[in-house]
Amino acid sequence: MSNLATLPKNGNLAKPNRVSNFPSFSTWFDDFSLNDFPALFSSNFNTGMSLPKVNIKEVADAFVVEMAVPGLKKSDFNINLENNALSISAELRENNEEKNDDYTRKEFGYSSFKRTFTLPETVNDSKINATYNEGILTVHLPKKEEAKQKPPRAIKIS
């Protein structure tokens, strides 16, 4: 970052024209920290589960999506392809009940996530497959034949 100009907190280079001793609206708003409400502004409102981390890598003949989602079963996932968009989602519902002579205790929970990725035109969507092993969901997106990397070859000069 350059130290050529020092900006005031409101980001304005012009000298503030203050009539009173009250801070300008932009200065007041800059002082208001969203860090005071981390759960409110950084969580995913639609889910009780944080979004899983994803690695996407390109290899010679495919794209590979790896998603870290431990503790789930294969049957918990929904993987759909629609209009060149791949969506991966999961939904978990828990309902535990414990009955005793003196009390009944019920606990329930719900969590879900959904990640959507726009696929490049080079993906052969009829050959997409997925595996789930040791907490990692892997989606293999093979490339169309014309998009695959071809090995280098020498060209002779005539």
Q: What is the pLDDT of residues 54-87, one digit of tens each?
A: 999 999 899 999 999 998 899 999 999 999 999 9
pLDDT given at position 105: 80
Q: Which parts of the chain register pLDDT below 50?
A: 1-7, 10-15, 22, 24-47
The whole-number pLDDT of residue 140 equals 96
CB atoms within 10 A of CB 60: 9
Res 21: pLDDT: 52
Rounded distance between C-alpha atoms, residue 133 and residue 116, angstroms = 21
Residue 7 CB burial class (10 angstroms; 0-12, 13-18, ≥19): exposed
Q: From 90, 38, 101, select the one nearest 68 (Cα to Cα).
A: 90
0.75 exceeded by pTM: no
Map tokens 């040791």 to a residue: 134
Domains of the chain are 46-146 (2.60.40.790)
CA dihedral 57, 50, 135, 92 (to 10 degrees): -130
For residue 49, the model assigns a pLDDT of: 58
pLDDT (0 to 100) of residue 1: 44
Confidence (pLDDT) at 131: 96
pLDDT computed for residue 123 by the predictor: 92
pLDDT, position 137: 96
3-state secondary structure of 157: coil
Segments in 32-132 forming alpha helices (H) = 38-42
Q: Which of 149, 148, 151, 109 is nearest to 127 (CA)?
A: 148
Whether 112 and 47 have beta carbons less than 8 Å apart is answered as yes
Distance CA 85, CA 118 (A): 4
What pLDDT is attached to residue 86?
A: 94
55 with 115: CB under 8 angstroms? no
